[in-house]
Structure 1
Amino acid sequence: MAPEVFTRVAALIEEINQHTATTAPEVEAFRIKYLGSKNILKPLMGEMRNIPNEEKRAFGQLVNKAKQTAQDKFDALQAATAEQAGAVAGTGLDLTAPAEALPLGSRHPIALTMRRIISIFGRIGFTVAEGPEIEDDWHNFSAMNTPEDHPARDMQDTFYVGENMPAGPKNTDMLLRTHTSSVQARTMENEPPPIRIIAPGRVYRNETISARSHAQFHQVEGLYVAEKVSFADMKATLLHFAREMYGDQTKIRLRPSYFPFTEPSAEMDIWWGLETEHDYRITKGTGWLEILGCGMVDPQVLINCGIDPEIYSGYAFGMGIERQAMLLYNITDIRLMFENDVRFLRQFSSVL
């Protein structure tokens, strides 16, 4: 029976025959391994002393066959690689040239603005909460203290969903959420105070599409519920937001307003100025620009969500993200944000 070393040499010959290489560095690696000064075939001749005399001739011939096979394989691989390089050269391609830079995508102005708002509130302890866009009447309206006869429940303002459109508002109705306040309701139901969240997301209202309004848009609403939360806490938080968003010299004012889920309620304006014709137009000649609504959470809302208003209080606020984006980037038509016009989107390719 042939010694084990015969089997090893035969295996090496098979390995050489099966070897593939498609680039010059791979061919060079093959040469070093099988034909170089320290190739793996050279030690085989040292095995000759262990071979019986009657088999030495056969073993020498087998080792020589392995060396010749390696040389023939190297020559074939080298020729094939040279031929391939010549074919590429014939096309005029320079494989050493640096590749062209890939075109950069653009972040959408809504995404840019949303990320900026989340970052501002995130730095002062607010976490992001999310909820479904298809919501039930309870979380969208009833839990937020919206009366049964409130105009917002009417089908002229709300998109109801289902096989049969409802004749009127019912607690079992399903609808496209009209605000992200529903996320606040779900959070208060499932988490004990203290609660400090913001709820960004898409909302829907049955409105006429124009340069200033759309049937779909984005909101970010905030909620803070804990012991001894005051209106002054809310004002300080919103002043911080306004100065982070629009500059450290930004001035704000709070005007009394009404929302079903907050009491007292207010609308917050920032001083925009009256330096240009555009300033006069967007502020209606006042210099003040409304950016959000806010107020102290109505005790009934806390009760609806299982929180004791005798122990806890809180504030809430909400703003349209599109409106913030239009102010930041001087966009005059909200419809541009939903039409996917690449000429519009490319303007934001360098905005991080």
Structure 2
Amino acid sequence: MSGPNTSYDPVEVSALSPDAVDAAVTEALAAIEQAEDLDALKAARLAHAGEKSPLALANREIGALPPSAKAEAGKRVGQARGRVGQALKQRQAELEAQRDERILVEEAIDVTVGGPGRRVGARHPLSLTIERIQDVFTAMGWEIAEGPEVEAEWFNFDALNFAPDHPARQMQDTFFVDPPDSGLVLRTHTSPVQARSLLQLDTSGLHKELPVYVAVPGRVYRTDELDATHTPVFHQIEGLAVDKHLTMAHLKGTLDHLARELFGAAVTTRLRPAFFPFTEPSAEMDFECWVCFGKDPGCRTCGGTGWIEWGGCGMVNRNVLLACGVDPDVYTGFAFGMGIDRSIMLRNGVSDMHDIVEGDVRFSAAFGMEI
């Protein structure tokens, strides 16, 4: 590019000649008109209005003209660039309108057509059953309590009247936490919450006043092998009531109500004598087999006995009340513990514990989204 001088004729600069400017405009307008889509228009814009286009180069040559020639050349090139810019804007609007019309046709959705099938999610039956049991007890005015799964050995055994040489303390039944003298275990039942509930302090630091009515759902651990009917990690619902004048009749009435809510109004129950260190007298609760009603010796559900074992229960042992600072001559109590996993197997006809613990979504899907 040459420097300014006073005798320079712009017509003699090839890029600024009227013919060259008109030719550049004609070529640009033709390219713009022939652009069939927005991508082609973008290419035309770069070629005819970009920094390296003929009109842009001509515009840069104006700086080398003498002042007397700059006005005329600038006006002529400016008008040419304006025509190209206007043509680009107009063609842009036309192509965008065509694109929008095409999208409306090609991507139209018929809202009257049914959507694709989608699998509905499901909640795990353990969660559903625990919440159902909690609803039963809260409706009776009971509290729902919780306790730690890594439990002090004193709460898990000593406070519940387990003798130091009781078989349940041995390694074949209990998971002990290292080091061996830590005094900690993975709780083998939810019964430790019995003692924790009775020893719980209020905000003033004093023991809460009796009576106590608590239900305790939770996860427990025992050194069992995983098979069709056992698992080392399972769930229990523990119940504890301590009040004046409670009897076995109150216990049976409470469990009968729970059984009817879980298994139907027609369920028949019975109490069978048993032994547990933390209750005296103690019993196992059974309910009548709803498959054979005791009439089929070969029944696979009840083993031909006519009854299905559900869980243990009884009146709280005096030693447990004394360990928790409760006067057994004034207060009595009852307690019970039922397996929630077993309740699911009985209530829903689940034959293999693997189905409950392995997390197959096809198993949970059968239970739906009950809330």
**TM-score, length-normalised on structure 1?**
0.70
In the alignment of these two chains, the number of paired residues is 272
Match of 1:192 in 2: 209
**Segment of structure 1 superposing worse, 104-113 or 145-154:** 104-113
Q: 1:85–1:196: structure 2 CA closer, same or farther, 3 Å change rule?
A: farther
Residue deviations 1:183-238 (CA, integer Å, cap 9, x gap): 11111101331100100011000011110000000000100001111111111111
Q: CA deviation at 1:349?
A: 2.2
Q: 1:158–1:96: structure 2 CA closer, same or farther, 3 Å change rule?
A: same
Residue number among 328, 344, 347 corresponding to 2:363 in the alignment: 344
Q: 1:84–1:132: structure 2 CA closer, same or farther, 3 Å change rule?
A: farther
**Is 2:250 the partner of 1:233?**
yes
Give the conservation status (yes or no) of the 8 Å contact 1:279–1:287. no
Give the conservation status (yes or no) of the 8 Å contact 2:217–2:238. yes
Match of 2:17 in 1: none
In 2, Cα distance between the equivalents of 1:158 and 1:79?
80
Secondary structure of residue in 2 paired with 1:343: helix
Q: 1:272–1:153: structure 2 CA closer, same or farther, 3 Å change rule?
A: same
Residue deviations 1:4-35 (CA, integer Å, cap 9, x gap): xxxxxxxxxxxxxxxxxxxxxxxxxxxxxxxx
Match of 1:146 in 2: 162
Q: CA deviation at 1:146?
A: 0.8
Query: Runs of at least 4 residues of structure 1 off by over 3 A?
Result: 78-91, 95-103, 275-279
Q: CA deviation at 1:104?
A: 2.4
Q: CA deviation at 1:79?
A: 8.5
In 1, Cα distance between the equivalents of 2:95 and 2:346?
63
* TM-align CA RMSD: 2.8
Match of 2:326 in 1: 307
Give the conservation status (yes or no) of the 8 Å contact 1:272–1:279. no
In 1, Cα distance between the equivalents of 2:187 and 2:94?
69
Secondary structure of residue in 1 paired with 2:310: strand
Q: 1:81–1:231: structure 2 CA closer, same or farther, 3 Å change rule?
A: farther
Unaligned runs of 5+ in 2: 1-89, 201-207
Q: 1:88–1:237: structure 2 CA closer, same or farther, 3 Å change rule?
A: same
Over alpha carbons, which structure has the higher Rg?
Answer: 2
**Is 2:183 the partner of 1:173?**
yes
Q: CA deviation at 1:84?
A: 7.5
Residue deviations 1:26-80 (CA, integer Å, cap 9, x gap): xxxxxxxxxxxxxxxxxxxxxxxxxxxxxxxxxxxxxxxxxxxxxxxxx9xx999
**Is 2:282 the partner of 1:262?**
no
Alignment of 1:1-352 (within 5 A): 85-86=100-101, 88-89=103-104, 92=107, 94=109, 103-162=119-178, 164=179, 166=180, 172-190=182-200, 191-273=208-290, 274=292, 280-349=299-368, 351-352=370-371
In 2, Cα distance between the equivalents of 1:230 and 1:267?
16
Q: 1:92–1:141: structure 2 CA closer, same or farther, 3 Å change rule?
A: same
